[in-house]
Every structure is written in C-alpha cells, then in structure tokens.
Amino acid sequence: MPDRPSDRRARVTAADTYDVVIVGAGPAGIFAALSLKDSGLAVCLLEKGPALEHRTCPMQSREAGCARCTPCALLCGWGGAGAYSDGKLTLTPAIGGKLQDYVGQEALGRLIEEVDRTYLDFGAPETVFAPDERVFRDLQRRAATADLILV
C-alpha cells in the first residue's frame, strides 16, 4: 500500500531540533536550563501551564471552591507552584530531607548559596524578614508536643 502524502511529510520533532528538552518550567526545570545556557547546546524548555502574567485562578474572584482548571494556574506555568508562594526559600540544610548525605555538607552550602544568588540576580528582594521571635518559640514548643521540629 503506498504512503499517503501526509505520511511522507518530514516529521520534525524536538529531538531533531534540540540537544536537550526540559519538561516543566518549575524551579528544577529553570535551574536545569540556566545550567545549560552557556553549554552551546540547543535547549528547549517546555511548560504546559500559562505564562506567569496569564496565571489567574477563578477562586481568587469568587467564593466557590476549586474549579478544577486544566492545567491548574496555581500549580502549572512558569515558576511552578512556587511562583505564587509567599516567597520564602529554604536556605538551610536543616529543612528538606537529607541532601547533605548525598552531596556533603560543604557542597550543599555552596548549592544553597548559588540558588540564593541566582534568585537575587533575577530580582528577588535582598531583605529577609525574620518571624517574631516570641511567636516562633511558641510555635516550636507546640510543634514539639506533636514530635515535630520547627526550624
């Protein structure tokens, strides 16, 4: 059976055009793309969600519950779920698991500094606000009663 004309058309795929395709423009995807930007490789960063300026949630303007948008504008899009967080970054190895067991304490410190420096280079504010010490100590005490550690 002969090929149909549409079957004979050249199929151009991302693999034909790019050396690296990164799926997801959350923090991991963005940092992967940044780490490759000077490599000379052709890099494509794909994101299923809308651009940051178009990320709006219907719940912000009404009292109803989640509209189950596909994709969810709060979770998907440039910056990932963190784009609409309150801006806190975890800049201590005391939070987030045992990464230091894999890369070592010194390397982890350098990585945390690199992440902080990158965010600052792209416009994050340099001023860091500390919590009210009295409130924080009270929350630590309450967390401890549930066998939790608040750092």
Residue-level pLDDT at 8: 46
Residues 6+ apart with CB under 8 A from 107: none
Is 4 within a domain? no
Interatomic CA distance for residues 141 and 149, integer angstroms:
9
User: In this predicted model, what pLDDT tens digit does every residue of 38-87 receive, in sequence order?
Assistant: 999 999 999 999 888 888 888 877 777 788 888 888 889 888 887 777 66
pTM, to two decimals:
0.70
Residue-level pLDDT at 6: 52
Is 59 within a domain? no
Is 104 within a domain? yes
Q: Considering the chain, what is the average pLDDT of its residues?
A: 84
Local structure of residue 79 (DSSP, 8 states): T
Interatomic CA distance for residues 29 and 43, integer angstroms:
11
Q: Which domain holds residue 117?
A: 87-151
Residues 140 and 117 in one domain: yes
Residues 77 and 113 in one domain: no
8 A C-beta contact, residue 76 and residue 26:
no
Short-list 36, 46, 39, 40, CA closest to 14: 46
